[in-house]
Amino acid sequence: MSAIAGILSLDQTTIEAEPAEAMATALAWRGPDDDGRYRSPDGRAALAVRRLAGMTPSPDAVLPLANETHDVWLALDGEILNHRALRHCLELAGHRFATRSDAETALHAYEQWGLDFPSHLQGPFALALWDDRRDRLVLARDALGCKPLFHAWRNHRLAFASAIGPVLDVLGLPRRIDPAGLAELLSLGCIPAPRTIALGVAKLPPGGMLVADRDRPVRVHAWGSFIPDRHRVASVRALPLVRHAGNLRTLVECAVADRLPGDARVGVVLDGAAAGALAAITGRLTGRAPPTVAVTDAAGPDGEAARNTRLLAAAARSDLTEMRVTADDAVEALRPLAATLPEPVADGRALAGWFAARAAREAELSALLAADGAEEILLCHPAYRDARSSGLLERVRRLSPPLGRLLRRRRRPAPAGVEETGAAGLVRDRRASPRPRPGPPPAPDWTDGDPLETRALRDLEWRIADGVAPRADAAALAHGLALHLPFLDPQVVAYALSIPGPLRSPSGSPRRILRRAFGDLMPAAVAAHAGALPLDAWMAGSLGARLAEGLDGFALVRAEVVAADAVRTLLARQRAEGGHADALWAILMLLEWADAHGFAMADPPGAPARGAPPLTAGHTAPVARDGGAC
């Protein structure tokens, strides 16, 4: 678990190591335990790392790491979970290891398989590799995008880092919000790669790779995907539900075991039924009561969410640390939370994640397991009700068109989905108005057009990779913790997606596969989220008051990007009727994030251009030769 940064000269000039080191120093909160740097002999490339010792405190794990001949160097944020098996395979192929670090397996994997090496790595990672023999820089991000990696280029220099700010600063670019990125944040709740909130900066897509060779254009392409191929799906899709449940249970148990090395104190964020299953599995694997942390509303210590939390903790026989949070606590946490986020997100559960990490730090834990992603791969997210009913209505319509029309008219409106925040109407700048964007790749044919499976795939590609996972990772790192997401293990995801949607989540039984696979590990009474914070009530109270009282002081309001009058109107409606907390939270986090990171809105059209456009998948940037311009 680290922060990585670096610079590459795209022409014949040299660079110093200090700017890259300064970039990493700006991210010291992500990796406070160690630092390291490397500058290539010809001065074209510099890498820097900040490391959180976390689960691997051995001194030989210091990054950047080099191969035996010191001509290939690696900076890694994350971990390689299959490093033991890879090490054995690579040693048989003749590679010699100098450390016990999991990062070294990525180095030798590159030597063995070239640019295909990321397909052999399992785990959450964002990495930078410099090959001095070929004058080549390689950036890669894991297939599920659990670790962020941002990049930009200007004046013959390519910069990259685990956060946006250092990239802009080292290139001398202003901190300006991209209207197109803002439009996506307010309409989708996140900003799918390669776009970012920052003008001139791109983020590497999940499963993406950037390659920069001397005298060749910089290119970005996909090295892999989390979506299983049709042959793998066909081999398991016809199995009965009981077999699927057993296989899924085994894979999740293996994923948890892979994330429990050594004697480190690893806890579980107890925020729902899937998390309760993780806690029970952890206890069985370790042979002792697993530490668990939960966040509950201090004003409702005996409410349903708090009761569910205690039921789950009792079922897992865990040692529960319960943090009771007030609305005033939430107000105080806004700025530090916003300051650690890679990008603003419209996910209200970010608050609970922040306090869960704080509780874990106070309980002296080293790492956390969380169940993020479980509801998406198992098709039981509350927001999927509308997609599920749409699929049922379509089947009814085919059988009986009159009945289908009647049911559609009488169907209750579903609550806004995870991405439809309704916040777009609060922004005055027309450039940030929602606009069409290319959708994710078409759903694989093995989904049979199931709207629920299609929705979940989109959420994994967009909302999890570019919203939920990065914000959860940032909250943990800000408290000196490593975060592990077993339900986003590549093997778990690939198998879960291979189970037919109607088996995972049939209409009327949205948690079927969860119950079949883990029912013996969690109480039957727990059917909803545990430990949920009352964002709707708080937005009508202290959080809303924070927004109203500080509204005129936010930079984006003073610049008339956000319409203060529209925000006040929506706040009044929230106090009167509720139901607008998601939109208000999205705007509040945008304002707090922009102020915490010093961002203003981009210049209007016609203003002088600043820097080069970001590199996106399938695109290239020319390389300057003999002082030519990029």
For residue 489, the model assigns a pLDDT of: 93
Question: How many angstroms separate the CA atoms of 557 and 580, rounded?
Answer: 20
20-34, 175-189, 362-376, 463-477: which has the minimum mean pLDDT? 20-34
SS3 474: helix
Residue 322 CB partners (closer than 8 Å, separation 6+): 293, 294, 295, 296, 306, 309, 310, 359
pLDDT higher than 80, residue 370: yes
Between 98 and 210, residue with greater pLDDT: 210
Percent of all residues in the chain with a pLDDT value above 90, rounded to a whole number = 50
For residue 331, the model assigns a pLDDT of: 94
pLDDT higher than 50, residue 511: yes
Between 363 and 387, residue with greater pLDDT: 363
Render the burial of 537-559: b for 16+ CB within 10 Å, e for the rest.
bbbbbbbbbbbbebbeebebbee
For residue 608, the model assigns a pLDDT of: 45
For residue 603, the model assigns a pLDDT of: 65
pLDDT higher than 70, residue 421: no
Confidence of residue 415 (pLDDT cuts 50, 70, 90): very low
301-305, 362-366, 597-601: which has the minimum mean pLDDT? 301-305
pLDDT higher than 50, residue 222: yes
- How is the chain split into domains, by residue range? 2-226+614-621, 230-382+457-534
Most confident of the ranges 79-83, 126-130, 395-399, 565-569: 126-130
For residue 290, the model assigns a pLDDT of: 93
Work out whether strand 136-141 and strand 125-131 pair parallel, antiparallel, or are unpaired: antiparallel
Question: How many angstroms separate the CA atoms of 574 and 552, rounded?
Answer: 19
pLDDT higher than 50, residue 318: yes
Token code pair at residue 531: 């430990």
* Cβ atoms of 555 and 600 closer than 8 Å: yes
For residue 6, the model assigns a pLDDT of: 94
Instruction: Enter the DSSP assignment of 486.
Output: G
Per-residue pLDDT tens over the stretch 268-302: 999 888 999 999 999 999 999 999 999 988 887 66
Confidence of residue 431 (pLDDT cuts 50, 70, 90): low
- Average pLDDT of the chain is 83
Percent of all residues in the chain with a pLDDT value above 70, rounded to a whole number = 83
Q: Which CATH architecture has domain 2-226+614-621?
A: 4-Layer Sandwich (3.60)
Between 163 and 301, residue with greater pLDDT: 163
For residue 614, the model assigns a pLDDT of: 55
Residue 590 CB partners (closer than 8 Å, separation 6+): 182, 185, 186, 344, 423, 556, 562
For residue 1, the model assigns a pLDDT of: 59
Q: Which CATH architecture has domain 230-382+457-534?
A: 3-Layer(aba) Sandwich (3.40)
**606's torsion region: left (phi>0), alpha (psi -120 to 50) or beta?**
left
pLDDT higher than 80, residue 619: no
pLDDT higher than 70, residue 366: yes
In the predicted model, what is the mean pLDDT of residues 180-202? 90
For residue 439, the model assigns a pLDDT of: 58
pLDDT higher than 60, residue 223: yes
For residue 371, the model assigns a pLDDT of: 94
CA 285 to chain centroid: 27
pLDDT higher than 60, residue 396: no
pLDDT higher than 80, residue 175: yes
In the predicted model, what is the mean pLDDT of residues 72-93? 92
CA 314 to chain centroid: 30
Confidence of residue 615 (pLDDT cuts 50, 70, 90): low
For residue 538, the model assigns a pLDDT of: 93
- From edge to edge, which strands make up the β-sheet containing 367-369? 319-325, 291-297, 266-269, 367-369, 482-484
Q: What is the pTM of this model?
A: 0.88
Confidence of residue 241 (pLDDT cuts 50, 70, 90): very high
Per-residue pLDDT tens over the stretch 445-469: 888 778 888 888 888 888 899 989 9
CA-wise closest residue to 214 among 11, 449, 502: 11
Question: How many angstroms separate the CA atoms of 405 and 118, rounded?
Answer: 49
Question: How many angstroms separate the CA atoms of 52 and 35, rounded?
Answer: 9
For residue 294, the model assigns a pLDDT of: 93
Between 610 and 629, residue with greater pLDDT: 610
Between 606 and 370, residue with greater pLDDT: 370
Token code pair at residue 62: 């210091």
Residue 153 CB partners (closer than 8 Å, separation 6+): 10, 159, 171, 218, 611, 612, 615, 621, 630
Q: Return the bridge partners of 427, or none.
A: 562
For residue 542, the model assigns a pLDDT of: 92
pLDDT higher than 70, residue 54: no
Question: How many angstroms separate the CA atoms of 495 and 335, rounded?
Answer: 39
* Cβ atoms of 233 and 255 closer than 8 Å: no
pLDDT higher than 80, residue 508: no
Per-residue pLDDT tens over the stretch 520-544: 888 776 654 555 788 999 999 999 9
- What string of DSSP letters covers 492-509? HHHHHHHS-HHHHS-TT-
In the predicted model, what is the mean pLDDT of residues 380-397? 58
For residue 436, the model assigns a pLDDT of: 53
* Cβ atoms of 446 and 232 closer than 8 Å: no
Per-residue pLDDT tens over the stretch 401-411: 554 444 344 43
For residue 188, the model assigns a pLDDT of: 84
Between 420 and 68, residue with greater pLDDT: 68
